[in-house]
Amino acid sequence: MSAVRVMVPASTANLGPGFDCLGMALKLYNIVEMQEATKLEITVEGEGTTSIARDDSNLVCRAAAMLFERAGYRPGGLQIHLINNIPLARGLGSSSAAILGGLLAANALCGHPFAKQELLDMALKLEGHADNLAAALYGGIAIVAPVDGRVRHVKLYPPAGLKVIAAVPDYTLSTAASRKVLPETIPYRDAVYNLGRLALLVAALSRQDTELFSVAMQDALHQPYRSTLIPGMPAAMQAAQDAGALSVTLSGAGPTITAFACTREKEIARTMQQSLSDSGISGRVLILEPDSEGAKLKEQ
C-alpha cells in the first residue's frame, strides 16, 4: 500500500487590519506521513511530542476520518507520523496545518476524489477560520470571505524580499480564549479605521508598494483587546518598529508577535528577543520568509 507525505506551511493571520480576512503562509512546515495499516498508530516528532493525542481524537486523524467518510472509503487502520515544526497554540496556524495535512493525505490515499476548494470547505468545518487555512493551502497571502457557505479566496503575493520576524513566547494561548476578550460590538470609527487600512493594504500588495504596506497594517478591531492577554506585547511591537520594521502585528490570535521587514531582520529579531526578556517572558524569535506555494503532497 502506498504512503503519502504532505508538507503544510505555518501561517500568520489577520496581518493587522484584516481580522479573519487575511493570512500569509510562512516557510516553516509541519509534515504528515500517512499510510494504510491494520490499526491506528500515531507517532509525533518535534513540537507537541508530549501533548498531542495519539488516538482518534488527534486532529490530523479527525480530518482524515472526515474525508474518508465523505468519500465512502474505509481503511482498516492508519499509520500516521507527524513531524511538527510549527509551535502549537501560538498564533502560527498549527491547527490549520494539522487539518490540511490530514485532509490532503487522506484525499491522496483514496484516489483524489476532492478538489482543493472542496478540501478548504471541509477544513472550515473542523476549524472555523479560513484565513490560516487558505494561506496554508494555497501559499502567498490569502484574502478570504465566506460566501453562501463556501470560502471565496484570492491569492496575492507579499512584497519581494519580505522577512517575517516572529517573536514566539513559550506560553500558549488558544484561539477560543483570545476571541473571548473581543467585544460583541465595535464603534463605527474603529470599523472605518480598519476598512481604510485593509483597502490600502490590498492595494499595497497588488502594486508591491512597500511604503504603503508599512503604513497599512494597524488595527483597531482585535489587537487592543487581545493585548490584555499578552504581557509585553506593546513593548515588543514598539521595539521592532524602532529597530526598523516596516510594520508589526499580533500573529492571528496571538501570542506570537510578527514584525515585517525587507532589511535589518537580524537587528529586529535581537531587539524583540531583548524586549520579551525585559518583560520577563521566555520565548524564541524566528526569522522566516513567506511561502508562496502552499501545502505540497508527495506520493511515495
Question: Footprint of ligand HSE on this chain (CB under 6 A)?
Answer: 13-14, 20, 129, 131-132, 175, 179, 222, 252-253
Find the shortest distance in angstroms from Cβ 55 to ligand HSE: 25
Q: Are 249 and 164 in contact (CB under 8 A)?
A: no
Number of residue whose CB is nearest ligand HSE: 129
Residue with cell 460566501: 147
Q: How far is CA 285 from the centre of its chain?
A: 16
Helix (H) or strand (E) holding 40: none
Q: Are 144 and 24 in contact (CB under 8 A)?
A: no
Output 42 or 253, the one with its CB closest to ligand HSE. 253
**How many CB atoms lie under 10 A from the CB of residue 51?**
10
The DSSP code for 147 is E
Report the SS3 class of residue 8.
strand
Output 34 or 99, the one with its CB closest to ligand HSE. 99
Find the shortest distance in angstroms from Cβ 298 to ligand HSE: 26
Output 175 or 258, the one with its CB closest to ligand HSE. 175
Output 61 or 135, the one with its CB closest to ligand HSE. 135
Output 103 or 269, the one with its CB closest to ligand HSE. 103
Output 19 or 75, the one with its CB closest to ligand HSE. 19
Find the shortest distance in angstroms from Cβ 41 to ligand HSE: 29
Find the shortest distance in angstroms from Cβ 60 to ligand HSE: 17
Find the shortest distance in angstroms from Cβ 12 to ligand HSE: 9
Contacts of 33 (CB under 8 A, 6+ apart): 3, 4, 5, 80, 81, 82, 83, 105
Find the shortest distance in angstroms from Cβ 10 to ligand HSE: 12
Pairing of β 41-46 and β 77-84: parallel
In the beta sheet, which residues pair with residue 142? 23, 155
Q: Are 100 and 123 in contact (CB under 8 A)?
A: yes
